[in-house]
Structure 1
Amino acid sequence: MGRIQPARITRVLAGSIAEELGFEAGDRLVAINGVPPRDLIDYQFAIATEDLVLDVVDAAGENHQVELEKDWDDDLGLEFETALFDGLIQCANACPFCFIDQQPPETRATLHLKDDDYRLSFLYGSYLTLTNLPAAEWERIARLRLSPLYVSVHATEPEVRSRLLKNERAGQILEHLRWFQAQGLTNSCPSCCLP
């Protein structure tokens, strides 16, 4: 993760609140009620209120502050270039079976991104290994009740999983799964058989 970047708007839905307010593709959302959203999750939580103040930079680079009232469950009608405004949490493992590492070099660059991002797991069902999360991210998962997350377990024996993923933190998987249970959060873990 990096510095939070303004969220670049790629589409304004016809008939939406955003269209009515004059938003256009190319505008960038900087903050909602004074808080820069890190990702689409923050954005969705932040707009679930009746009174909003949106800090926006238009395509020409001009700053605007837009105040609006809406029903708490009304969507603004904005689509963004990416779901992650602060960058991708990348994989910290070195699995010998990694399908990303096995991609031919001539394939498009996005096929070579080694994501291990819990936000993509929550939003889109991507699988993650839980080996790279600092305490603040675990706290955010609990606070926002982000569930289910999709977890690639590979092995539950600590030494075996650490060896498979080539990451010492990988051996904490049972502790991590118990943490989800204690928080009342669910996860989906596929079964894979290794010869």
Structure 2
Amino acid sequence: MSTRTVCGRIIGVEPTGFAGRLGLAPGDCLLAINGAPVRDVIDVQFYASEEELELTFVRDGQVQTVRGVRAYGEELGLEFETLLFDGLRVCHNRCEFCFVAQMPKGLRPSLYVRDDDYRLSFLTGSFVTLTNLTEADWRRIEMQGLSPLYVSVHATDPVVRSRLLGRTNIPDIREQLQRLANLGVEVHAQVVLVPGVNDGPVLERTIADLAALYRAVASVSLVPVGLTQFQRAPIRRYAKGEARALLGQAREWRGRFAREFGARFVHPSDEF
């Protein structure tokens, strides 16, 4: 991480909100709430839940602090330039089916960003692999109750998942999901299916492993691999007959889980 000051750049202030009442204005940069540094809007929401608040911010290069008592139901009333103040966690996996890697050149830079940030998973429902979590991240997930999370599982078989993510020495996703379950975090799982790689018996094992963690794992979406004309990896799309067979298999699972769980659990995507 760079040595720059981490703060949330304010772009909007509700005049009748708590922060507006204390004099904060667009252009200020929020540093801390009640002495706790804020790294993103999650921290803002978490630490601003108290009745008595101390807001520390930067204005024109000077650090200022204001204090006040929040009325019941009073909104903080701040809009920030970005959800993440300390930068985006980028993806270091090298998935053969990565859609970002299949983009043509010359498009706007934001389309080439490979994000793998668990905070955006909580905030916006984006899928993450959990391969870059630190122990500090795990402690934060527990302390702040960051649930639900959306996880790209792809396969619970460690060897197959390692191949799919293009990396070795990655955490065992089964252990990570169990750890999330122990923390009370709800997970929505995703499996991007690649013909001949993580379907068949591998998929059966994946579904069985995930079903064993129901209700912590609340759902599993099955998505056929999507390829563009710029894709160079030795993988292919599903043929019509293969897709039909997968949907039949999913139909059987859905019926069984509806009887066992009272929920379909497995959800094939529209792309099938």
**TM-score after normalising by structure 1:** 0.91
2:30 is paired with a residue whose SS is strand
Q: Is the 8 A contact 2:100 2:111 kept in 1?
A: yes
The Cα offsets for residues 57-95 of structure 1, whole Å up to 9 and x where unpaired, read as 12x333321111113653210011111111111112011
Q: Which amino acid aligns with 1:44?
A: Q
Equivalent in the alignment of 2:117 = 117
2:141 is paired with a residue whose SS is helix
Equivalent in the alignment of 2:23 = 22
Q: Distance in 1 between matches of 2:177 and 2:73?
A: 32
Equivalent in the alignment of 1:105 = 105
The Cα offsets for residues 140-165 of structure 1, whole Å up to 9 and x where unpaired, read as 11222211100011111110100110
Count of equivalent residues: 194
Q: CA 1:66/1:162 → structure 2, altered by over 3 Å: closer, same or farther?
A: same
Shift of 1:25: 1.1
Equivalent in the alignment of 1:86 = 86
Q: CA 1:171/1:30 → structure 2, altered by over 3 Å: closer, same or farther?
A: closer
Q: Distance in 1 between matches of 2:72 and 2:39?
A: 20
Q: Distance in 2 between matches of 1:133 and 1:156?
A: 18
Shift of 1:190: 2.6
Q: Is the 8 A contact 1:47 1:75 kept in 2?
A: no
Q: Superposed, which structure 2 residues align to 1:12-161 within 5 Å?
A: 12-58=13-59, 60-71=60-71, 73-161=73-161
Shift of 1:171: 5.6
Worse-superposed segment, 123-132 or 141-150: 141-150
1:128 is paired with a residue whose SS is coil
Equivalent in the alignment of 1:186 = 186
Q: Distance in 2 between matches of 1:63 and 1:170?
A: 42
Q: Distance in 1 between matches of 2:21 and 2:144?
A: 30
Shift of 1:22: 2.4
Q: Which has the higher contact order (CA 8 A, sep 6+)?
A: 1
Q: Is the 8 A contact 1:152 1:189 kept in 2?
A: yes
Equivalent in the alignment of 1:167 = 167
Q: Is the 8 A contact 2:129 2:153 kept in 1?
A: yes
Q: Which amino acid aligns with 1:111?
A: L
Q: Is the 8 A contact 2:121 2:127 kept in 1?
A: yes
The structure whose Rg is larger is 2
Gaps of at least 5 residues in structure 2 are: 196-272
Q: Distance in 2 between matches of 1:99 and 1:193?
A: 14
Worse-superposed segment, 162-171 or 24-33: 162-171
Q: Is the 8 A contact 2:155 2:191 kept in 1?
A: no
Runs of 4+ in structure 1 deviating by more than 6 angstroms, as ranges, are none
Q: Is the 8 A contact 1:48 1:73 kept in 2?
A: no
Gaps of at least 5 residues in structure 1 are: none
Q: Which amino acid aligns with 1:70?
A: R
Q: Distance in 2 between matches of 1:13 and 1:124?
A: 23
Taking only the aligned residue pairs, the percentage that are identical comes to 47
The Cα offsets for residues 107-139 of structure 1, whole Å up to 9 and x where unpaired, read as 221221111000000011010001111111112
Q: CA 1:157/1:148 → structure 2, altered by over 3 Å: closer, same or farther?
A: same
